[in-house]
């Protein structure tokens, strides 16, 4: 199957190009040219499938022509080696826990799948593939861990000194092996500027193979469709029920994957886009006007996005029709105070500990269900483990949050990062002189 650019539908490329290039040169985003419907017998058999089996079936219909079956099965077995359980919160409200991967956030799913797919595509190339990532925290840790020890690929993660949490720094900078952590004396924007300059630098392109791994890569969205099916599999009689899915959103990759799953036949009655006060998309749903803004910092900081990068994909999937998009997605947003109150309430009522992102998702679902009695039930995504946001959650619930073993072990390791200035010349020299990068 081919992938086209949202900016120019005649710009069509193979999966390999879409994945290794990341973003088309015309400034659009890649989208699969078709989203084939899965057959009835797939949905009938879904309740009896396990996560990996159903993931293979979904992947096969999308990329089966491009990746041999045995390779695809292996990529799925390695990348999705953890569960996404559906957990009861209240009557008719369940959460899909997406934090059982190595860095405790849903981004593990996309990063682990992307790394293995890239490794397959470059296996016959005798050069190393160097992945550059600028991060304000979460993406860098998921990508660093997703690519850790993947043959033929290096990851170079740039993060702003003093501006990410200790846990995030430890998840990025203690791995070693093929993961290089660069602590930049500057801001996140400086990190991003260095990466962008390197990706278009002709000297560098001559001597090494460079790519990026940000959330716009289509190979991150493909595996994110799988867990929507895995959620419905765990709901009795899902084929005859009206079920809403609420996605706490920032760049809207997660929600876009859900829209793709629905186009492939998953019976999601309605999507709810829940955000913090960075409510660019809820405003668009309300008014029809998309008006990007400078982002505002909140306690659900992985959703502090003022210009959601996947919006172009959402528009494209619905032929840019505001009416059709509104029919599919309901938008809502909440303040930090409302988010804290939800964390406290849920803890008091059920003992369940939400992280701030999941709390926004819970609030969105609750509000939608209150206004739509015709729905049978709803699911919201818990996108990160509350231990990642201990500093915010503990004072709110008045109790301590246990740190899972896989997170605790990062905290004991030695930080291996190297410090660089924000000067491009220094970064370029670093890339050019390292023999491992060739
Ligand atoms: C990245 C992230 C989000 C936002 O996901 P998008 O796909 O960018 O909308 C939500 N919650 C957490 C914990 C995240 O890390």
Centroid of ligand 1 to alpha carbon of 203 (angstroms): 35
Question: Which domain, by its residues, includes 94?
Answer: 83-106+221-397
Residue 228 lies in a domain: yes
For residue 251, the ligand 1 atom closest to its alpha carbon is 8
Residue nearest to atom 1 of ligand 1 (CA): 302
Give Cα separations from 415 to 141, 148, 170 (angstroms).
13, 16, 6
CATH number at residue 101: 3.40.50.1100
Q: Residue 206 and residue 202: Cα distance in Å, rounded?
A: 6
Q: Evaluate: CB of 248 within 6 angstroms of ligand 1.
A: yes
What is the reported pTM? Answer: 0.95
Q: Evaluate: CB of 302 within 6 angstroms of ligand 1.
A: yes
Residue 38 lies in a domain: no
For residue 355, the ligand 1 atom closest to its alpha carbon is 13
Residue 298 lies in a domain: yes
Q: Residue 402 and residue 34: Cα distance in Å, rounded?
A: 44
Q: Evaluate: CB of 357 within 6 angstroms of ligand 1.
A: yes
Residue 8 lies in a domain: no
Name the domain count of the chain. 1
User: CB under 8 Å to 322, separation ≥6 — which residues?
Assistant: 284, 288
DSSP string, 75-97: HHHHHT-S---EEEEETTEEEEE
Residue 95 lies in a domain: yes
Residue nearest to atom 8 of ligand 1 (CA): 251
Two tokens at 312?
A: 């172009």
Residue 317 lies in a domain: yes
Residue 197 lies in a domain: no
For residue 357, the ligand 1 atom closest to its alpha carbon is 11
Residue 344 lies in a domain: yes
In order along its 438 residues, the chain shows pLDDT tens digits of: 999 999 999 999 999 999 998 888 898 999 999 999 999 999 999 999 999 999 999 999 999 999 999 999 999 999 999 999 999 999 999 999 999 999 999 999 999 999 999 999 999 999 999 999 998 878 899 999 999 999 999 999 999 998 888 888 999 999 999 999 999 999 888 998 999 899 889 999 898 999 988 778 999 999 999 999 999 999 999 999 999 999 999 999 999 999 999 999 999 999 999 999 999 999 999 999 999 998 899 999 999 999 999 999 999 999 999 999 999 999 999 999 999 999 999 999 999 999 999 999 999 999 999 999 999 999 999 999 999 999 999 999 999 999 999 999 999 999 999 999 999 999 999 999 998 898
Give me the catalytic one of 2, 16, 34, 107.
107
Q: Is 107 a catalytic residue?
A: yes
């Amino acid at each position: 199957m081919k992938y086209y650019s949202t900016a120019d539908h005649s710009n069509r490329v193979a999966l390999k190009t879409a994945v290794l290039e990341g973003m088309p040169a015309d400034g659009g985003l890649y989208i699969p040219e078709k989203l084939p419907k899965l057959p009835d017998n797939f949905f009938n058999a879904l309740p009896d499938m396990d996560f990996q089996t159903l993931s293979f079936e979904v992947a096969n219909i999308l990329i089966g022509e491009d990746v041999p079956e045995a390779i695809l099965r292996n990529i799925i077995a390695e990348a999705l080696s953890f569960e996404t359980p559906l957990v009861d919160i209240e009557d008719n409200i369940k959460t899909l826990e997406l934090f059982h991967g190595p860095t405790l956030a849903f981004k593990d799913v996309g990063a682990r799948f992307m790394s293995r797919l890239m490794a397959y595509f470059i296996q016959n190339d005798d050069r190393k593939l160097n992945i550059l990532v600028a991060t304000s925290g979460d993406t860098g840790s998921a990508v660093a861990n997703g690519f850790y020890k993947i043959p033929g690929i290096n990851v170079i993660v740039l993060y702003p000194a003093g501006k990410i949490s200790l846990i995030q720094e430890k998840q990025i900078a203690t791995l070693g092996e093929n993961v290089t952590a660069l602590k930049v004396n500057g801001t996140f924007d400086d990190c991003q500027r260095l990466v962008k300059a390197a990706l278009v630098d002709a000297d560098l392109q001559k001597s090494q193979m460079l790519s990026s791994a940000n959330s716009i890569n289509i190979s991150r969205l493909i595996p994110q469709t799988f867990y929507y099916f895995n959620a419905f599999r765990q709901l009795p009689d899902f084929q005859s029920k009206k079920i809403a899915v609420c996605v706490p959103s920032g760049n809207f990759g997660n929600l876009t994957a859900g829209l793709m799953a629905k186009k492939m036949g998953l019976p999601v009655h309605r999507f709810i886009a829940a955000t913090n006060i960075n409510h660019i998309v809820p405003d668009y749903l309300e008014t029809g006007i998309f008006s990007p803004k400078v982002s505002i910092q909140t306690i659900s900081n992985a959703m502090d996005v003022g210009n959601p990068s996947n919006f172009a994909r959402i528009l494209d999937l619905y032929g840019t029709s505001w009416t059709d998009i509104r029919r599919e997605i309901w938008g809502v947003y909440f303040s930090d105070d409302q988010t804290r109150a939800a964390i406290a309430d849920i803890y008091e009522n059920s003992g369940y500990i939400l992280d701030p992102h999941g709390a926004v998702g819970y609030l969105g679902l609750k509000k939608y269900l209150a206004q739509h009695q015709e729905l049978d039930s709803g699911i919201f995504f818990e996108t990160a483990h509350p231990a990642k946001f201990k500093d915010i959650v503990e004072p709110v619930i008045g109790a301590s949050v246990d740190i899972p073993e896989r997170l605790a072990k990062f905290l004991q390791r030695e930080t291996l990062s190297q410090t660089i200035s924000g000067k491009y010349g220094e970064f370029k020299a670093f890339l050019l002189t390292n023999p491992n990068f060739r």
